[in-house]
Amino acid sequence: MVEIYYTSALVVSVVLMLVYSFFFHKHFDVHLSFLFLFVPINNLAQYLLSKSVNFEESIVAYKFVYLSSCFLILNITLLVFEFCNIRINRYLKLLMYTVTVATLVCALQMGQNDLYYKSVEFELVNGVATLKKVYGPLHALYYAMLLSYFTAALSVIIYRLFKKAQISRRFIVLIAIPETISLLGFFIGRSLIPTIEITPLAYDITLIVYLIIVRRLVLYDIPETVIDTVAQKGDTGFISFDFKYRYLGSNDTAKRIFPELKNFIVDVKINENEDTKKTFWEWLNKFSEDNSCDKAYYKSGDKVYLINVGFLFNGKRKCGYQLYITDDTKNQQYISLLDSFNTELKAEVAQKTADIMDMHNKLIMSMATMVESRDNSTGGHIKRTSEGVRILVGEMMGKSDFNLSESFCNNLIKAAPMHDLGKIAVDDAVLRKPGRFTAEEFEKMKAHAAEGARIVDEILAGTDDKEFCTIAENVAHYHHERWDGSGYPSGLKGEQIPLEARIMAIADVFDALVSKRVYKDAMSFEKANEIILEGIGSQFDKKLEPYYKAAFPKLEEYYNSISTK
């Protein structure tokens, strides 16, 4: 019966390891993979220990039990920290590994001296090998390590249960189960059944729970899930090369467009293949000599594909080249007809341009909305402030004080949704805090203005409309500056602050006042109006006062209209 138990535990752990390999994702924490490796090792060692026929065999098997157990407890603890989004200082992690290895080294002395075990005797109980041990002084280190790791992990779990964070409570409970089972299996299991190790069963249950966690991890990792879906199932082809023009890989869409990729071998240079010299190699070579040569066309059958050449990044570091392949057949058909059907195609081109601009604007709005979704506002801030800017600019157009051009007004309205893009770089703990910021937190929040300008500059790099680029960057960078110079991030004063940022500031503050947040109720329009007017000359440009006053009834009407929808 005991032999069946150890055999079953081993088989189950191996099956669970294979199941994990099926679900494996490159972004899984390495400690999770170690866990699914060490449990089968532990169960194999327990099985071999039960089958050993002499003292030497049992000692070897028991050493492997200790080897796997030490690192199992360590990896379970580190996983708890990782899953609870608590970063461990690398020196502390190094200390934990050092303590674990030191404890293991002590355990490996069993049978050689009386420091870890004063005595070890081999005996057979009902045909099953076991070791009768008398603990030595160094064995206390093993218990101390186990209790320290378990205490630290359970403390983190309890902390996360009672501290508000963007972590599912169900997920935290799942994390606590393996920790508890492992603890009970090790300490209580021995007291219940002294002749049988309960830990193989406990570790198998632990792996089952971690498989459930793995399934949730895949769903929780939204950015990576979306990226993988687009890369593998989208309409865009991707081909990667390193800086020496060696092939790194491609997705299924690229292989469909370029069937020769199916026979490519990773790390082989593309200039060694005659078929790719006139395509991949030529495109990459032109781009490496001049980064502005980042577009090419490839015709296959009745299809024309647009090839966009760019850099391949590993984090922030450039590590090679990336080809983005999209079906550009329709666009090319439009272009080929221009010569003979110029008049008729003007409307088509105009519509196409409008569609592209509309898509561009929607992409910007989608990106801004994605950033906003991380904030603790009730949502809609981007759309409301954009409409607020539109209303303010509408009152200013045609007036002699500023002589705003039509393009300036249109570009400012288009740029308004981008004013808070920098918040994507602000940590969730700060961005989603429901109360007032500490001085340190406020400094982190303030960084979103300069970061937003940097992001906008990168997004719009290469855009022909320089005026729009400048306005969008200024709006993101300076919408928290104050007329009296007490704002951030640069402390600009008066007309040093770009006009577009001064206009954006009024719309931004007005929306913040009259909108409900998780930490405050919406303010009445009368009170918000009073605060804005009090800020004229200190926070806001005095010259904008008459236009704000003229716009206020329209702002109130707009906010009332959306509150009823």
CATH number at residue 56: 1.20.1070
What's the CA gap between 565 and 555, in Å, rounded?
A: 16
| Residue 41 and residue 128 share a domain | yes
Domain, as residue range, for 73: 2-220
Tens of pLDDT, residue by residue over 204-254, are 888 888 888 776 665 444 344 444 544 555 578 888 888 888 888 888 888
Q: What is the rounded average pLDDT of the residues 427-433?
A: 77
Residue 229 tokens, joined: 């879906």
Instruction: Determine contact, residues 83/116, Cβ cutoff 8 Å.
Output: no
The candidate with the shortest Cα–Cα distance to 116, out of 125, 105, 127, 132, is 105
Q: Is the domain of 332 the same as that of 358? A: no
pLDDT of residue 259 exceeding 80, the answer is yes
**Predicted local confidence at residue 220, as pLDDT:** 45
pLDDT score of 505: 93
Q: Is residue 238 domain-resident?
A: yes
Residue 228 lies in a domain: no
Q: Grade residue 26 by pLDDT with cuts at 50, 70 and 90.
A: low
Structural domains counted in the chain: 3
Q: Are 199 and 46 in contact (CB under 8 A)?
A: yes
Confidence (pLDDT) at 553: 94
**Residue 238 β-bridge partners:** 324
pTM of the model: 0.42
Pair (143, 250) in one structural domain: no
The verdict on residue 459 lying in a domain is: yes
Q: Are 276 and 260 in contact (CB under 8 A)?
A: yes
Tokens (6 digits) for 518 = 């998780």
Quick check: bond before 546 cis, omega within 30? no
Residues forming beta bridges with residue 320, ordered by sequence position: 312
Same domain, 499 and 370: yes
Cα angle value 57/61/63 (rounded, 5°): 120
3-state secondary structure of 134: strand
Indicate whether 226 belongs to any domain.
no
Q: Output the CA–CA distances (angstroms, integers) from residue 560 to 208, 335, 355, 380, 514, in the order listed.
A: 53, 47, 31, 14, 11
For residue 82, CA distances in Å to 85, 124, 177, 217 come to 5, 43, 16, 12
Q: Last residue of a domain, which of 283, 308, 337?
A: 337
Looking at per-residue pLDDT, the higher value among 263 and 451 belongs to: 451
Question: Exposure pattern of 283-320 as b/e (b: 16+ CB <10 Å)?
Answer: bbebbeeeeeebebebeeeeebbbbebeebeeeeeeeb
Q: Which of 247, 296, 299, 238 is nearest to 269 (CA)?
A: 247
Q: What string of DSSP letters covers 27-93?
A: TS-HHHHHHHHHHHHHHHHHHHHHH--SHHHHHHHHHHHHHHHHHHHHHHHHHHHHHTT-PPPHHHH
158 shares its domain with 188: yes
Q: Using one digit for the tens of pLDDT, what is the confidence trace for 441-488?
A: 888 888 889 998 998 888 887 777 788 899 999 999 999 999 999 999
Residue 124 lies in a domain: yes
Last residue of a domain, one of 277, 307, 337: 337
Residue 378 is predicted with a pLDDT of: 45
Average confidence (pLDDT) over 279-297:
88
CA distance 552 to 561: 14
Q: How far apart are CA 461 and CA 309, in angstroms?
A: 15
Residues 400-415, buried b or exposed e (16+ Cβ, 10 A)?
A: eeeebeeebbebbbbb
Q: Does residue 105 form part of some domain?
A: yes
CATH of the domain at 287: 3.30.450.20
* In a shared domain, residues 417 and 322: no
What would the two tokens of residue 458 be?
């990168």
Position 493 scores a pLDDT of 94
- Tens digit of each residue's pLDDT (9 = 90 or more) over 85-119: 788 888 888 999 999 898 888 888 887 777 877 77
The three-point CA angle 326-329-330 to 5° equals 115
Assign residue 481 the CATH number of its domain.
1.10.3210.10
Distance CA 144, CA 417 (A): 56
153 pLDDT above the threshold of 70:
yes
Mean pLDDT of the chain: 81
* pLDDT at site 484: 94
